[in-house]
Amino acid sequence: RDPPGWAQIPSRSRVLRSKQIHAERTRHPRSRGYTNGSILRTTRTPTFCTMMMARAFLLLSAVATAAAAPAIVWKAGNSSPTEHSSEAVPASSLLKSAVEGSSHDALAVVFVVNRDKDGSEALSRLASSGSLPQIQSKYESATSIHHHVAGVEGAASAAEHAGGHQVSLHEFDGMLESEHKPAVMVVGVDRHEDMSKLDGAVVKALSHSKVRSVVLTAQRSVEEVKNERALSRRRNKQINRKRKVLTNDKRRRLEDAQEDADDDAEEEEEVDV
């Protein structure tokens, strides 16, 4: 049985509900705004700009939780809502599509952030820590955000996939204003560099009149490399196993055919006798 007076003791949920009702009755909805623990903690009704910033923050968090290297793509003249994709996409096909149609008057710029010292993919960490505020403010204008880009081995391989010229972050500003700039630039970004320079460089590329498309991605993590190698080993084992089964089946068929031929020969000898 319940102890005496137990029914008169309000439960924790009852106390919380009572406080919530009291708060709802005493606050003015127009002057106090949202204070119920949501993302928008403000003392006034959220404005459209505040809501857009909240959406940008959510997008930032989405990229930061990606298992593989993310990629953000901006294309000039795009007016459609940002497209999100969680499907695995090869880096080669993504880059070729992003730089398609580029020329000296319609440049394509690809930024590739090298991995961290611990071997992890760096862009997600930079995004989640708020180290790229200017880029974060441009999330709403992105054409697409890919949460799983496979096979980004580095700036050199990205330049090969995109058919572009590799430059350092230090060289980027001068190359962008050069008369002899390449149609596709792949900017390698080392993690020891000042990330505010990357932040400014991406925004500068986005605002440049001759830049048609911009891609921001990162070198794949060591974990992704290990997973790919493990998958390759398993695939090779399966291929070898199937090849062995086929070889054994072929050998058995040959042996069976030989036995049948021997039996036929013996039967012919018996008939001749």
**What 8-state DSSP symbol labels residue 8?**
G
pLDDT along the chain (273 residues), means of 10: 41 50 50 34 41 49 57 90 91 93 91 92 89 92 92 92 94 90 95 94 95 94 66 71 74 73 65 56
Residue 122: which of 188, 74, 24, 26 has the closest Cα? Answer: 188
pLDDT at position 161: 93
Tell me which H or E stretch contains 107.
strand 107-113
At 168, the amino acid letter reads S
How many CA atoms lie less than 13 Å away from 77 in the CB half-sphere?
A: 6
**141 domain-assigned:** yes
- Res 253: pLDDT: 77
φ/ψ (deg, to 5) at 123: -65, -40
Q: Quote the DSSP letter at residue 6.
A: G
Asked whether 188 and 155 are in contact (CB, 8 A), the reply is yes
Within this chain, do residues 180 and 146 fall inside the same structural domain, yes or no? yes
Predicted TM-score (pTM) of this structure: 0.63
- Owning domain of residue 236: 222-273
What SS3 class is residue 226? helix
Task: Choose the final residue of a domain: 184, 204, 220.
Answer: 220
Same domain, yes or no: 138 and 262: no
The whole-number pLDDT of residue 262 equals 66
* 256-to-259, 268, 269 alpha-carbon distances in Å: 5, 18, 20
Structural domain total, the chain: 2
Distance CA 163, CA 176 (A): 17
